Structure 1
Amino acid sequence: MSTIRELLKDAMKDESKVLVYAIRHFLSAGKLKYDDPADKFDEVIANATDRDNQAIGELMEQNPLGIDEIHVYAMKIEKGRFAFVFARDEEEATYFFCRTFQRWPMNCHQYPMDSPMSVGYRFRSFRELKKEHDEFPALAGIYEKEVTA
């Protein structure tokens, strides 16, 4: 059985801003302990007061941990060619794509950050690749698949 500590660790890894600050608030309010079972969070959040919700909202707005929810979007350039863009949302990714490629993407799909991408002769997750960027939106890479006639 997982604990609140493990849930918080996973939320930090996934940069889940709402979950991180909700857990942090309930820990500081004494409504959760690190060694509590993770499913206790559901009970605590179900009984959250307006004051709890306000405090979580303030933490999210202040963002003292500097959590920036960045996603990766696959955007089709042309048949068999895709750009992967790191951005906060689909709108930001599309705007970046249009500025970079001087055209609208043919489509746009969000990918999981733990998906592997071939870089040279090895595979790296988008989460790893994201660490190489300081500003967003940013181009994660171009993927070209072989197109057969």
Structure 2
Amino acid sequence: MRDESKVLVYAIRHFLSAGKLKYDDPADKFDEVIANATDRDNQAIGELMEQNPLGIDEIHVYAMKIEKGRFAFVFARDEEEATYFFCRTFQRWPMNCHQYPMDSPMSLGYRFRSFRELKKEHDEFPSLAGIYEKEVSA
């Protein structure tokens, strides 16, 4: 989940619990409530973001080069966490590390699935999404 989405979730939660929004309000009511938000509202939303009571974490996928033509894809919260996981798993530093879009397709045999779909199969993070071996010409 992107940070903007996380803010939106906690803003809606705050305004619902404060009685400034109702579940059946039209979408433009939210715009009105946001426009009239007080410093106290903003502080409460910021505290919710920090406390994160819904456990919302944004997970990314990182491509990390193991060796020529061989890459590990790691689900992690940030590059540092991905690198630490890679080092524990492969007992070496990655040759490089690049964040990939979650909607990029990953080849699984003759099928393609997005990293977003693959992430749903994982309960804990960081985790290994898969290994990709590129054909290397000699």
Report TM bin, short chain: 0.7 to 0.9
Closer, same or farther: CA 94–29 of 1 in aligned 2, 3 Å: same
Task: Confirm or deny: 8 A CA contact 2:2 2:58 kept in the other structure.
Answer: no
Task: Confirm or deny: 8 A CA contact 2:70 2:131 kept in the other structure.
Answer: yes
Report the equivalent of 1:69: 58
Could you list the per-position Cα deviations for residues 119-139 of structure 1 after superposition, in whole angstroms to 9, with x for gaps in the alignment? 122111111111111111000
TM-score for the superposition, normalised by structure 1: 0.74
Name the CA distance, whole Å, in 2 between partners of 1:90 and 1:111: 11
Could you list the per-position Cα deviations for residues 71-104 of structure 1 after superposition, in whole angstroms to 9, with x for gaps in the alignment? 1111111111110000111100000001111111
TM-score for the superposition, normalised by structure 2: 0.79
Q: Percent identity?
A: 97
Unaligned runs of 5+ in 2: none
Shift, 1:33, TM fit:
7.4
Could you list the per-position Cα deviations for residues 54-80 of structure 1 after superposition, in whole angstroms to 9, with x for gaps in the alignment? 111222233333212111111111111
Corresponding pairs, count:
138
Structure number, greater radius of gyration: 2
Unaligned runs of 5+ in 1: 1-11
Secondary structure of the structure 2 residue equivalent to 1:15? helix
Closer, same or farther: CA 97–40 of 1 in aligned 2, 3 Å: farther
